Amino acid sequence: MKVSSFNIMAILMCLLLATLTTIAQGQGTRVGFYRTTCPSVESIVRTAVQSAVQADPTLAAGVLRIFFHDCFVHGCDGSVLLDGPSSEKTAPPNLPLRGFEVIDAAKSQLETTCPGVVSCADISALAARDAVVLAGGISWQVPLGRRDGLVSQASDTVNLPAFNDSISVQISKFADKGLNIQDLVTLVGAHTIGTGACVVFRYRLYNFNGTNQPDPDINPSFLPQLRALCPEGGDDSRRVALDTGSVTRFDTSYFTNLRNGRGVLESDAKLWSDSTTRPIVQRFLGLSGLLGLTFNVEFGRSMVKMGNIELRTGSQGEIRRVCRATN
């Protein structure tokens, strides 16, 4: 008698657990979402990113930034991928985005192998991970199951973080997306690869904030180098490594550069000069009394969090046939 009521209890508990798991999976993303519907999704995306990055190593940074700009506007729903006269792509912060053709290549291959199954938002999430790994970062598992959005408005990009945002503004823009201060410092560590145009930091070099002096956060020994790359009145579009000396390697030298006054963007330099974020940079450099943090491990963790911003799953949105247009 006792045994059988125990058995019934156990069965009920199992049923409850199974139901809860199903509900959780129905609402969120999960690893292996396409295991039965498109088992080769990961290798197809990886191959597309690999061949693009082999031909042009700077595209790893391009693909990584696309995912960030997708997630911060309307959630990670592929809205940044849509073409159109007033789509997100046409807004100033998105004009330098590069690598859309990498997402297109993966999508067209996937439409041949498993048509109508894999969202463009998920392709972008996988491509960002693959780009980091190709640049020397550590891999992580990417939860999938995002749906593609139907809306893309240039005006919705106003809340993207800007190169001249103060730390308190950066923190609040990340907090609005459910990301904490450690996620902020970790994710901006993406600037360990890629470049910025002179136009986004030249104002720091000559007459910063009306002082007729350079930004005091710039190391005086670094200044001549930046001035030579971006002379006053020179080419706005010339591109400069955000992590001097290690522009294609996904490593911690970006944080070392911040500590040494060699951050290129004002928003980056402040991660060190501001006492709110400096301790986290110190932890990545192993310079803190607090426990050290391993950048390459934390990066994957924070990317998974960023990848779940304002999720659309289940029957919301659609699975686009091409990433540049709604169906």
69: annotated active-site residue: yes
Provide, rounded to whole angstroms, the least separation between the CB of residue 260 and ligand HEM.
20
Q: How far is the CB of 219 from ligand HEM (least distance, A)?
A: 20
Q: How far apart are CA 171 and CA 193, in angstroms?
A: 22
Q: Is 166 or 213 the residue whose CB approaches ligand HEM more closely? A: 166
Kindly state the smallest distance separating residue 268's Cβ from ligand NAG, in Å. 14
Residues making contact with ligand HEM (CB under 6 A): 58, 61-62, 64-65, 68, 96, 98, 161-163, 165, 170, 187-188, 190-191, 193-197, 200, 265, 267
Q: Which of 35, 184, 192 is nearest to 114 (CA)?
A: 35
- As to burial, measured by CB atoms within 10 angstroms (0-12 exposed, 13-18 middle, 19+ buried), residue 114 is middle
Nearer to ligand NAG, 113 or 164 (CB): 164
Which residue type is seen at 156? D
Kindly state whether residue 294 participates in binding ligand NAG, applying the rule CB under 6 A. no
Buried b (16+ CB within 10 A) or exposed e, 255-293: bbbbbebbbbbbbbbbbbbbeebbebbbbbbeeeeeeeb
> Among 209, 260, 316, 327, which residue sits at the site for ligand NAG (rule: CB under 6 A)?
209
Structure tokens at 283: 């932890």
Q: At its nearest, how many Å lie between ligand NAG and the CB of residue 175?
A: 18
For ligand HEM, the nearest residue by Cβ is 194
Q: Which of 69, 89, 147, 262 is catalytic?
A: 69
Among 58, 90, 164, 253, which residue interacts with ligand NAG (rule: CB under 6 A)? 164
* 38 vs 71, beta carbon nearer ligand HEM: 71
Tokens (6 digits) for 327: 């169906």
Token couple for 155 = 């005006």
Contact in structure between 135 and 241 (CB atoms under 8 Å): no
Q: Which residues are catalytic?
A: 69
